[in-house]
Amino acid sequence: MGAYRMILLLLLSAPVLATAPVEPPHAYCVAATKAQVPPKVLYALALQESRAALPSGVKPWPWTLNIAGEPWRFTDRDKACRALSLAVEVVDPKRIDAGLGQVNIGWNGSRFGSLCEALDPQKNLLVSAQILREHYESTGDWVAAAGRYHRPAGGEPAARYRSEFKVHAARVLRVSVNDVPTALGAL
């Protein structure tokens, strides 16, 4: 009978555990506000782009690179910067993404004062929020904007990304995945 009660308790508490509050850290709020993006949308996007399993939970990781489809996580900004500097010498910059928002260096590198500024968390978040806002202005929908953030041309890759983004947004917003569009529309 004890095992039955334990299983029942776990099943009954599962929705509560799945909807634990997730508040964006201050840096996300600052960048999002400057770009007129809801902070929770920017945080959900960063979770989608650079999440890492840390002892404190799953969080975006600032020193993340994606080089030709391979994710790389570094322990500090200097190591990530050295790797980024080497990568642009051997890989087309359009195949390199950097930082919390995984900003594409080939398409959006000019938004940074230097290559390694793409790894400055605050600047990366601001650029990510600006790009997201630009896509929102053309779509009027945060989920569609997230899909275009990943792949402006749309298609199946953008559709997959939208589905994955909605999972992170649901966690941050504390709603079901199906309720994400309505919840985002209310922000």
Residue that has been written with the tokens 């399993």 in this structure: 53
| φ, ψ at 66 (rounded to 5°) | -120, 115
Residue 110: pLDDT over 60: yes
Q: How confident is the model at residue 20 (pLDDT cuts 50, 70, 90)?
A: low
Q: Of all residues in the chain, what percent carry a pLDDT higher than 90?
A: 84
Query: Average pLDDT of 112-125?
Result: 98
**Cα–Cα distance for residue pair 183/187, rounded to 1 Å:** 7
State if pTM tops 0.85.
yes
* pLDDT for 187 beyond 50: yes
Tokens describing residue 66: 């994606």
List b or e across 55-91, with b for residues whose CB sees 16 or more CB atoms inside 10 angstroms.
Answer: eeeebbbbbbbbbeeeeeebeebeebbebbeebbeee
Q: How much is the CA Rg of the chain, to the nearest whole Å?
A: 18
Predicted confidence (pLDDT) at residue 2 exceeds the cutoff of 80: no
**DSSP letter (8 states) at residue 68:** T
In this prediction, residue 41 carries a pLDDT of 97
Contact of 140 with 11, CB cutoff 8 Å:
no
pLDDT at 19 over 50: no
pLDDT one-digit tens code per residue, 68-108: 999 999 999 999 999 999 999 999 999 999 999 999 999 99
Q: Does the pLDDT at position 7 exceed 70?
A: no
